Amino acid sequence: MSRYFEELDYQPTPIGAISLRRRHDFRLNIDILEIMLGDEHLMSDLFTASEIALADLGIAYHREGGTSQRLDVLVGGLGLGYTAKAVLDDAAVTSLVVVDALQPIINWHENGLLPLGPALSSDPRCRFVCADFFASAASQHGFDANHDGRVFDAILVDIDHAPDFHLAPGNESFYSAHGLTQMQRFLADGGVFGLWSNDPPDDAFTAHLKTCFTDARAETVTFANPFQPDDVTQTIYLARK
């Protein structure tokens, strides 16, 4: 292939064909690594600020509660690994379970095809689980097949594009009061739920979280986009059990 474009892998999945590709952007004169679902962009290493912020803000919010200083964390959605890596960068984290429904993405990390893969795979605190996060949240057993009903200090989710813009049909039930309440069975007392959104804050959804949790708020993450004149604003929703 041209050195300006390379498809590193292409695999069928239950929600469509997924591919990992590297392409050269002539406007910025850099190589960009991205995950595609069909023709749709799932993630790019050009924009990672909000994925990292999901971990940093979630852990900081947990510390505000003054609860345990040793953290067991679950991340829903592996992607390029930036949220997981930011979680592991915090010395208080004693364990991390990363749940992703797409086995090819886990394979790319374990095989070293993604830059952060070796660091994640070699960290004894980190374990990948191939499962449907939303089905696990609604189940009786939870997210860890090795520990039935295991609870976490933080559950951080970056899967859907926004609370009202879903990657796959059926995910919408998770965001209902019933779905969020079910998920809280697997949060420790004082535990934190963090949710990434591609959109600016939605006041209605923040209010909805406040009816389901003891406390909730929306934090904005703003960064420059070299392809458009205005900055991009995304959101990290935070809520405490």
Residues 35 and 57 in one domain: no
Residues 25 and 127 in one domain: no
- Residue 29 corresponds to which tokens in the numbers above? 């004169």
Strand order in the sheet with 40-44: 5-11, 18-25, 30-37, 40-44
| pLDDT over threshold 70, residue 14 | yes
Which tens digits make up the pLDDT trace of 201-220?
A: 999 999 999 999 999 999 99
Residues 216 and 196 in one domain: yes
Residues 98 and 173 in one domain: yes
Please give the residue range of the domain that contains residue 36.
Answer: 5-44
Find how far residue 114's CA is from the centre of its chain: 16
Mean pLDDT, the chain, whole residue set: 95
Residues 188 and 80 in one domain: yes
Answer for the pair 57, 194: CB distance below 8 angstroms, yes or no.
yes
CA distances from 77 to 98, 133, 148, 204, 238 (A): 7, 8, 21, 24, 17
Sequence-separated (6 or more) residues with CB below 8 Å from residue 240: 61, 65, 190, 191, 192, 193, 213, 214, 215, 216
Answer for the pair 206, 217: CB distance below 8 angstroms, yes or no.
yes
Residues 123 and 217 in one domain: yes
Q: What is the number of structural domains in the chain?
A: 2
Report the C-alpha gap between 204 and 143 in whole angstroms: 28
> What confidence score (pLDDT) does residue 2 get?
58
> What confidence score (pLDDT) does residue 68 get?
65
**Domain with 213 in it: what CATH number?**
3.40.50.150
Which tens digits make up the pLDDT trace of 176-206?
A: 999 999 999 999 999 999 999 999 999 999 9
> What confidence score (pLDDT) does residue 65 get?
81
| pLDDT over threshold 60, residue 1 | no
pLDDT range class, residue 20, cuts 50, 70, 90: very high
One DSSP character per residue, 42-66 reads EEETT--HHHHHHHHHHHHHHHHTT
> What confidence score (pLDDT) does residue 133 get?
98
